[in-house]
Amino acid sequence: MTSDLSGVELRDRYPLLVGDREVADGDMMAAIAPGTGEMVAEVPLADAAAVDRAATAAEGAQPAWAALSAAERGRHLRDLADAVRSQAERLARIDAMDSGNPLAAMRNDVAYGADALDYFAGIARELHGKTLPASANSLHLTLREPYGVVARILPFNHPLMFTLFHAAAPLAAGNTVIVKAPDQTPISPLEIAYLAAEVLPTGVLTVLTGNGATTGEALVAHPAIGRIGFTGRGTTGLRVMEAAAASGRVKHVTVELGGKNPLLVAPDADPAFVAEQAVGGMNFESSQGQSCGSTSRLYAPAALRDEIVDAVAARLDQIRVGDPLDTATTMGPLVSEPQLSRVQGYVDVGRSEGARLIRGGAAPDGVPEGGYYLAPTLFDRVESGHTIAIEEIFGPVLSVLEWRDRDDLIAQANATRYGLTANIITNDLDWAMDAARRVQAGCVWINGRGQHFLETPFGGYKDSGLGAEGSMESLLSYTRTKVVHVLDIGARP
């Protein structure tokens, strides 16, 4: 039996695929469509027993998967990429319904996720060790070997794309992977699990649904899982690291966390160009600002501030907020009622602390009833001590701050616990490179809006995380180094 939501066919009750078994017993969770606030399906709340079954299946499948050549594993990953592309429109529509992100953006997510599989399938052949000249009569070499079973714990903002992207590197390296889907957006990852079951060996990729307290903690603590990759909120990332340490096992944990990212505007910048980059950098039209990379602090030079504010406001007026499955929509709802309430709370605090609300701050007219909508929101006259300039909001709220002295600008940009990204807008190469070197961020874009490239690593400084995703660096992080010494070659008869 299926239900239909604006042309999207869904199951009433989604099972887990654990090894070669479908599991749909035990406690279930409601899957809510953020565009309407309606329950559209039920998914399992995987408990410790389900996690153990998944880990056992993954552990059993891993030796045979690792024994395949990199080329053979790559062919499997390309088969999965082809399967995703063959159902691209269906998956994009499910993803838009599941996350609330606009359909056009989710079509891009499907394409990027499939490309990630292809990319890591290709570079897996370059995964090799080294020979080292440590002595004259011996051979010293290193080997790259997989960890075994890897757990990937995902955030809610790009559920389908992150399932593919974050599984690709550890799979290519010879690990088996268990993905913990976001409890707010569980359907898209399960759809990927069903496709993977058709093209990958049993147990190689498993998707579990559930909450952090039950499913996530059981995954982190499980003795078969030695490598964990987490993406999400900083407080949750710290809990993952604490739980891994408390498990009694040494585990390799990487975390990609939040950001309070600055957009640094030089005095020579064009306000219209700044506005376009600011709106793009805030991810209003891809994830409603619900992105760790959103450039939520726009630092405008005093002489240009009014022009920039006017240009950004005019650009925000062009955004159409509405049903994520409507092709005319360019910004959808926030992911859940608690998320909407949280972001609305920051809007209220911004106003109470004296910032000037220029646009947004409430649900726009004409949006579907029951959905979690908030208009793109712009604050001017924000001070560095205001809450909305300090804390990560993770929503469609952009703050404009004024700067007059370049050294003070850099000091303000760095006066945060975070250090994920920074954007710089200028035609002055010296100004750009000086700012890029001095800003404390793991990723810096000059005259761009935070585009991601599979060939480059993405990670942050300070409380924005440990480790990097994407590129060869990510692939290597899912391997361990073994050193082999062949001693005294030719010395024995």
* Helices H / strands E in the chain, number of each: 16, 24
- In contact, 89 and 114? CB cutoff 8 Å: no
* Sequence-ordered alpha helix ranges (H) in 324-477: 337-352, 387-390, 406-414, 429-438, 471-477
Task: Give the number of C-alpha atoms closer than 13 A to the C-alpha of residue 175, restricted to the C-beta side.
Answer: 33
Q: Which residues pair with 378 in a beta bridge?
A: 359, 398
385 CB-near residues (< 8 Å, 6+ apart): none
Phi, psi of 331 (to 5 degrees): -150, 130
Helix (H, G, I), strand (E, B) or coil at 302: coil
Rounded to whole angstroms, the Cα distance separating 179 from 199 reads: 17
Contact in structure between 46 and 29 (CB atoms under 8 Å) = no
Residues identified as active-site: 256, 292
d(CA 152, CA 348): 35
Contact 262, 295 (CB under 8 A): yes
* Other CB atoms within 10 A of residue 161 CB: 26
Report phi then psi at 478, rounded to 5: -100, 20
The first and second tokens of residue 89, run together, are 């429109």
C-alpha closest to that of 111 among 143, 147, 139, 87: 87
C-alpha distances out from residue 322 to 110, 213, 278, 367, 491, Å? 21, 33, 21, 5, 77
Q: Find out whether 357 and 381 touch, Cβ atoms under 8 Å.
A: no
Structure tokens at 211: 């909450």
Report which residue type is found at 113. Answer: G
Which of 55, 46, 49 is CA-nearest to residue 19?
55
First-to-last alpha carbon distance for the chain, in angstroms, is 74
What span, in angstroms and rounded, lies between the C-alpha atoms of 178 and 219? 9
Tokens of 224: 């078969």
